[in-house]
Structure 1
Amino acid sequence: MKLSLAIVALALTVPTVAFAQDSTAVASSGQYPNTFSSGSANVSPFTNKSKRFNDWAISIGAGVPLVQSADLTSIKNGNGNNLFGYSAYVSIDKAITHAFGLNLQYDRGETRQGFFYTKDAAPANASVTQQVGARTQYDAISLLGDINFSNLLRRVDNHSPFRWALHGYAGVGVLAYRAYQKDEMGQRLVTEIKPFELGSMFAQAGAGLKFKVNRRLDIEGRVMYVVTGDDQFDGGGAKYSAINQREEQVSDNFVNATLGISLKLGKHESHLMWHDPLQEIYYKLDVLANKNQDIEVCKKGDLDNDGVCDDWDRQLDTPAGARVDGAGVALDTDLDGVIDLYDKCVTVPGPVENQGCPTTAPATPGLVNEQETKLDGIEFDLNSDRILPSNTPILNNAVNYINSSTGTYTVIGATDTRASEAYNQRLSERRANNVKDYLIKNGVQSGKLDAIGRGKKDLKYPECDPATKCPEWKNRANRRVYFEAK
């Protein structure tokens, strides 16, 4: 019985631990935001790599169980003498939040109750006076909820590192046991309950006080009250025996006092159950309040007076009066190569020689002269092929432009000079294909588009070779996708 219950506990815990690395993964739909969305599709998912705290632990402990409410008790109260058994537990603990977790726990032990220990000699008239001895060997599996009261009640203005925490536990499970009774005629098995039998359910609740030894180890003293739901757990015998009719309660309950340790698992510096987010917020606010606010802005000035500091201005010679984006580049709403300042048709693309307006007499009605057309300005983060929210206005304008044209286009991906040629080639192809997929999802006919990657062979700033240390804005400009008319 004991071995089979331990195997069941191990079978339950192994898949739980195996799933731990993926338990926080968030599935991504792969959808990109359009002009009607909030852009939430581009929020990075919460994955195991983005976790800041450890949230798994293994706990073990041992202690003393005392039958407190039964026909035969471990505590001297008329139904027995002071007899002490033993208990042990092992559990796998998962922190759900900083104040709540779940523990899968296996308990094993032996309670000793009655008027003498069953390994000692029985009085000559033990059966007549009903002063018998009993012991119960038990195995249990339970699922416990774990509430960290210290994190719920801790004052947020307490800046000192805390190392004590009060926890509350409660849960249910299955209980298997063998109860033995002894009198002057000898010892015998009076009750046996096997795992998962009808009536083997039990409940327990209690509290524990933890002390943080270091980032890996906690010590905990715990007291649990166990409600067996069974009137024969104490070894009193059959339900209607003389001993089992001493008390009217229908459940033999016991107190289990243990001392244990918890080993916190994971690569991070701190465990989630030792983290108080409110305390962290208040601490950071206090740090900001005491921080010197004398910050020097625009160390290099603003040479072209476009409102963007030269420290991060990507176009240092913006014409006076031109509207610019956050990077200091003059706006070109219709992406026709004529900035809005000089464009006579701001929302309709046209050739440069016609000041950005469509030609009045095109060679073929409905066509735009696209031989020199290049749509530029779609950039990416380092080592990333994710379309940034700042690119969506450009891409949405590209959708309108391509749909209004009868021509076909090549979507070209490029990278900066860092990393190997093979890696950059694959990265540039992913960038081009992501942009192509976005355009098709937003209404462009698939037959109008083709996608290729040129890796680091197609630099917007060729002077940024691997041996040259370029400013970051040039590297970012090289990490791009653009369109060419076929």
Structure 2
Amino acid sequence: MKKKLILLAAALPVLIFSQNSNPYGSGSTETKKFDNESRLFKDWAISVGGGGAFMQAADLTSFYDGKINWGWNAYVSIDKQITHTFGLSLNYSKGETNQKIMARPEWGVAVGHTKYDQIAVLGDVNLSNLMRRVDNKSEFKWALHAYGGVGIEGFTSTMRDEGMYKKYPFYIKQSLDQASVFWTTGLGLKYNLSRLIDLELRAMYVFSGDDAFDGSGTQGGRAYDENFDPATYMQIHPGRSDNAFTVNLGLSFKLGKSNRTHLAWFDPLQDIYAKTSNLENRIKDFVVCENGDKDNDGVCDDWDRQLDTPAGARVDGAGVALDIDLDGVIDLYDKCVTEPGPIENNGCPIVAQTSMSDNLVEEINKSLQGIDFELNKAVIRKSSYGILDNAADVLKGAQGQQFFVIGATDARGSVPLNLKLSKGRAEAVVAYLINKGVPASMLQAEGRGKSDLKYPECDPASNCPEWKNEANRRVYFIAK
């Protein structure tokens, strides 16, 4: 059992890989390896951009006293378009936010600054391509994109107020590593300037995951000693993540051959419509059976594989006359439609003629089965007379035929004795049949002893059961 399992495990990989002879497709004969030569579209780009950065959901924010404290943001990314609706980007961002808050009047206005570096992997869903209406045949120039991703960030933040941090600003530094993971999501509106360049307005929201991102202090810490009001800077905003957003204007430089369209700007539906329209314009009036049906078999000559089908012949879908038995004679002329036969016999099989004597011998031998003789004698038992009477009736109806009447014994006894006994029994059968009216000229007795055993394996007789030995003791006919 273990050996069978080992053989099965060894053969399984061969069986699996033998099922698919095509390494690039799922069975289509039109497939080929996908490489740079077979690409139809650009799918790589480098994007750069910049704009404003703003601290929003934090203890210190960029929106204070009805004014906006502007920060800045810049980014560069390598973009890979996977399909016409989805892509991936490796994005690096660098920027600075400026934020303010007043926790208590006596502390004055606290001013914070955050300088950050961020690396993220972004998923890019092309919403316009995904949800473009099938009946929208306008030029595809504008596209709305949805972004989402995760990354790591590093930042330094400072905060100064008119109280304790007037002379010694609060300072926090977070290294750019896995200790500070952030999430980001956003939207972008792209315009296809040319085959080489896209223009984009992009807004991104950043979930920093860090309560110290705005410069208000370390997670869970206090900005003042216990003599001060516990409502410290870190407790102004209830969340434990300082969040920001950026608004950027950028350019995407589409890499690849200049005559190719970028995959993000390819609309498969419009391509299908264009090709369908070309077909419609090319084939103005489709005429069925433009070349007619000259042989009147019901199959147009445009796709008729047998243009001279005989009149009246049934045909298949290709206009070929039917030949059900596949003998080369069409059914119209085949006299034996379901039986194959040669053309010279009108499609009917040639039946081998069996001579009358062969059939007669078979019939007589069947009727002679079961003849009994006295033990070691050539005397027919009375119980066998009826069998011989039937044989006589058959022979009298076959005038002009001649037969050998063969006697045989089993393997017991000597050869001379068996020859004598077998011939005597054959002569006894011949004498009985002549007595019943069979012409003597039709029959000739012959004894073969044990040289013609019906069951040759019964020599010696002890090798076989008695019924086989009895079957070897027989009389039978053969034609002369």
TM-score range, shorter chain: 0.5 to 0.7
Task: Provide, for residues 188-216 of structure 1, a one-character-per-residue CA deviation record: whole Å limited to 9, x for no partner.
Answer: 8513144333xx33222221111122344
CA distance in 1 between partners of 2:18 and 2:96 (Å):
52
Aligned twin of 1:136:
115
- 2:212 match: 232
Change (3 A) 1:144 1:322: same
Residue 222 of structure 2 corresponds to residue 241 of structure 1: yes
What percent of counterpart residues are identical?
41
Contact 2:209 2:241 in 1 (8 A): yes
CA distance in 1, matches of 2:197, 2:68: 38
Q: Which amino acid aligns with 1:256?
A: T
- Give the aligned partner of residue 382 of structure 2: none
Task: Please tell me whether the aligned partners of residues 149 and 168 of structure 1 are also in contact (alpha carbons under 8 angstroms).
Answer: no
Deviations 1:365-420 (A, max 9, x none): xxxxxxxxxxxxxxxxxxxxxxxxxxxxxxxxxxxxxxxxxxxxxxxxxxxxxxxx
Q: Does residue 1:102 correspond to 2:102, yes or no?
A: no
- Give 2:48's aligned residue: 61
Structure 1 contact 102–146 (Cα < 8 Å) conserved: yes
In structure 2, the partner of 1:302 is 293
Contact 1:342 1:355 in 2 (8 A): yes
User: What corresponds to 2:200 in structure 1?
Assistant: 220
1:338 aligns with 2:329: yes
Partner SS for 2:344: helix
Which segments of 5 or more consecutive residues in structure 1 lack a partner in the other structure? Answer: 1-26, 33-39, 117-126, 364-486
Give the whole-Å Cα distance in 2 for the aligned partners of 1:326 and 1:43: 25
Partner secondary structure for residue 231 of structure 1 = coil
Residues 202, 70 of structure 1: CA spacing in aligned structure 2 closer, same or farther, 3 A cutoff? same
1:359-438 → structure 2 map (5 Å cutoff): 359-361=350-352
- In structure 2, the residue matched to 1:260 is 250
Q: What letter corresponds to residue 212 of structure 1 in structure 2?
A: N
Structure 1 residue 222, shift from structure 2 partner? 1.0
- Identify the residue that residue 8 of structure 1 maps to in structure 2: none
Separation of aligned partners in 2, 1:248 and 1:79: 22
**Does the residue aligned with 2:50 lie in a helix, a strand or coil?**
strand
| Correspondence 1:196 to 2:173 | no
SS of the equivalent of 1:221 reads strand
- What is the count of residue pairs matched by the alignment? 313
* Residue 90 of structure 1: how far off its partner (Å): 0.6
Instruction: Report the alpha carbon displacement of residue 109 of structure 1 after superposing the two structures with TM.
Output: 0.8
One-letter amino acid of the counterpart of residue 222, structure 2: S
Deviation at 1:77, TM superposition (A): 0.9
**Cα gap change, 1:348 to 1:311, in 2 (>3 Å):** same
Give a deviation string over 1:423-477, Cα, whole Å, max 9, x none.
xxxxxxxxxxxxxxxxxxxxxxxxxxxxxxxxxxxxxxxxxxxxxxxxxxxxxxx
Shift, 1:269, TM fit: 4.8
Match of 2:343?
352
Q: CA deviation at 1:339?
A: 3.1
Deviations 1:226-251 (A, max 9, x none): 11121112233312232433322221
Does 2:156 match 1:179? yes
Secondary structure at the counterpart of residue 353 of structure 1: helix
Does structure 1 conserve the Cα–Cα contact (< 8 Å) formed by 2:42 and 2:261? Answer: no
Tell me what 1:460 maps to.
none
Measure, in 1, the Cα distance between the counterparts of 2:208 and 2:250.
23
- The answer to whether 1:160 aligns with 2:138 is yes
TM-score, normalised to structure 1, is 0.53
In the alignment, the residues of structure 2 paired with residue 324 and residue 189 of structure 1 have an alpha-carbon distance, to the nearest angstrom, of 94
Distance, in Å, in 1 between the alignment partners of 2:320 and 2:291 is 17
C-alpha distance in structure 1 between counterparts of 2:218 and 2:80, whole Å: 38
Letter of the structure 2 residue corresponding to residue 89 of structure 1:
V
User: Residue 87 of structure 1: which of 74, 78, 90 is its match?
Assistant: 74
Report the CA distance between 1:223 and its aligned residue.
Answer: 0.8
Contact 2:81 2:264 in 1 (8 A): no
CA apart distance, 1:106: 1.9
Asked whether the equivalents of residues 216 and 265 of structure 1 are also in contact (C-alpha less than 8 Å), the reply is yes
Moved more, 101-110 or 317-326: 317-326
1-side partners of 2:118 and 2:181: how far apart? 12
Cα deviation for residue 342 of structure 1 reads 3.2
Q: CA separation in 2, counterparts of 1:112 and 1:130? A: 16
Q: How does 1:440-459 map to 2 (within 5 A)?
A: none
AA at the equivalent of 2:206: V
